[in-house]
């Protein structure tokens, strides 16, 4: 696998654009992603029972093919009733008309402030503008990636190239947004995280199950604040323009998809609202991958764990308490808890006994580990052979400040 510097238009046959239409005061707020030919797709959606209008529209369409996505930022079009549904449908229709494709081949997504109506007069002017601006290369990649952002401080993109078993090189690329209201639990077919991934690989069958597997080891195991959005959506489009044999059962292809998805997911939590530290949780020795992921996610979503790490406070009882609230089966006497970072490592709990006692050298070593920008919580349950990972960030004073004034 070769890691690429490119963005969403890296695979063959894709164009993108990002423009300012007036939803936001100044920043880019409308993106279009387009494939030269219809592409097979798989889509994962939020499990929040309060679903935004674009989610409702997309779930009703339940597309198996897409040629374009239109995405606005700055307004979630969520909790907007029948008007919101009509606005999402109009975004689809206007984009299809501007591109000269059928409505069925256009998807829609939104992100931003909840329970405000879209300024459709501005959106209607912006969509043809975005379609006219469609292009390939670094500038198009940059504009599209920035147009889907809200409180994000940086754009988030990733790409790689893999060689299939038949020798065909294919490219996988994606963009995502997310900084707050991040704790996705997306399901296929039925995440605020929006992610759009594209590939020029050829896929011959239904790949919803594969896409769900990718979700479960990427976007579904991240957390900034434990809140699942009304708008979470993750899309994979495959247009087949690289040629070659179908990649449905090619391990190299799915490894590339997993790599891009995980890179995008990690970039979300690194840029979490108010975040100062990246936290990685590794759970080993679990009975099953599901239990391992449950344990890792339970720890990464704990506000008490997050605040302790923000303050470099080695209050490891919070980690074990979060573990106990997960679905993982274990005997605490067999659990080993280690903190690692930047080459430093310290064991906090082992053989049923704490190694950290107030004022001892273990406490000092733990505080040193927790002072680093990236912290790894490494747990061995010693109850099986499965491993699971999750990623998150700390919870800081700035998170409260940002969200206390989100609409003001």
Three-state DSSP state, 185:
coil
**Per-residue tokens: 327:** 């679905």
Residue 200 φ/ψ, nearest 5 degrees? -95, 10
* CATH fold label, 278-404: Ubiquitin-like (UB roll) (3.10.20)
> Against a cut of 0.75, is the pTM above it?
yes
Kindly list the catalytic residues.
192
- For the chain, the structural domain boundaries read 2-270, 278-404
Find tokens 């459709």 and name the residue: 120
Q: What is the pLDDT along the chain (408 residues), one digit of tens a residue?
A: 999 998 999 999 999 999 999 999 999 999 999 999 999 999 999 888 999 999 999 999 999 999 999 999 999 999 999 999 999 999 999 999 999 999 999 999 999 999 999 999 999 999 999 999 999 999 999 999 999 999 888 999 999 999 999 999 999 999 999 765 545 554 544 335 899 999 999 999 889 999 999 999 999 888 877 667 889 999 999 999 999 999 999 999 999 999 999 999 999 988 888 889 999 999 999 999 999 999 999 999 999 999 999 999 999 999 999 999 999 999 999 999 999 998 999 999 999 999 987 778 999 999 999 999 999 999 999 999 999 999 999 999 988 888 887 665
CATH number of 2-270: 3.60.70.12
Helix %, strand %, coil % for the chain, to 5?
35, 30, 40
Identify which of 292, 294, 307, 313 has the alpha carbon closest to the alpha carbon of residue 393: 307
What is the arrangement of strands in the sheet containing 374-380, beginning at the earlier edge strand? 222-223, 386-393, 278-286, 374-380, 336-341, 344-350, 353-354
């Amino acid at each position: 696998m070769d890691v690429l510097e490119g963005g969403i238009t890296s695979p063959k046959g894709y164009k993108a654009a990002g423009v300012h239409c007036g939803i936001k005061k100044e920043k880019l707020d409308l993106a279009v992603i387009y494939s030269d030919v219809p592409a097979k797709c798989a889509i994962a959606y939020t499990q929040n029972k309060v679903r935004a209008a674009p989610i409702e529209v997309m779930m009703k369409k339940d597309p198996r093919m897409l040629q374009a996505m239109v995405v606005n930022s700055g307004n979630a079009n969520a909790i907007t009733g029948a008007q919101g549904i009509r606005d999402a449908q109009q975004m689809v229709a206007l984009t299809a008309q501007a591109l000269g494709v059928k409505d069925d081949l256009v998807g829609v997504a939104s992100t931003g402030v909840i329970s405000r109506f879209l300024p459709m007069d501005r959106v209607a002017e912006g969509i043809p503008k975005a379609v006219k601006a469609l292009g390939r290369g670094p500038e198009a990649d940059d504009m599209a990636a920035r147009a889907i952002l809200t409180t994000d401080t940086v754009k988030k993109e990733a790409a790689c190239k893999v060689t299939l078993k038949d020798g065909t090189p294919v490219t996988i690329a994606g963009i995502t947004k997310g900084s707050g209201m991040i704790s996705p639990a997306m399901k296929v077919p039925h995440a605020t995280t929006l992610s759009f991934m594209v590939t020029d690989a050829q896929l011959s069958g239904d790949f919803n199950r594969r896409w769900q597997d990718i979700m479960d080891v990427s976007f579904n195991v991240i957390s900034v604040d434990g809140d699942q959005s009304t708008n979470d959506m993750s899309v994979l489009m495959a247009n087949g323009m690289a040629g070659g044999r179908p990649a449905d059962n090619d391990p190299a292809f799915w490894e590339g998809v997993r790599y891009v998805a995980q890179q995008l997911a990690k970039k979300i939590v690194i840029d979490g609202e108010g975040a100062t530290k990246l936290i990685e949780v590794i759970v080993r020795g679990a009975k099953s991958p599901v239990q391992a992921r449950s344990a890792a996610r339970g720890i990464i979503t704990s506000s008490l764990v997050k605040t302790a790490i923000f303050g470099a406070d080695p209050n490891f009882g919070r980690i074990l308490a979060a573990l106990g609230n997960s679905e993982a089966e274990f005997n605490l006497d067999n659990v080993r808890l280690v903190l690692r970072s930047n080459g430093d490592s310290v064991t906090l709990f082992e053989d049923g006994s704490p190694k950290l006692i107030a004022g001892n050298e273990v406490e000092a070593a733990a505080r040193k580990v927790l002072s680093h920008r990236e912290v790894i919580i490494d747990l061995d349950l010693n109850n099986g052979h499965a491993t699971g990972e999750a990623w998150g960030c700390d919870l800081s004073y700035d998170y409260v400040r940002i969200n206390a004034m989100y609409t003001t």
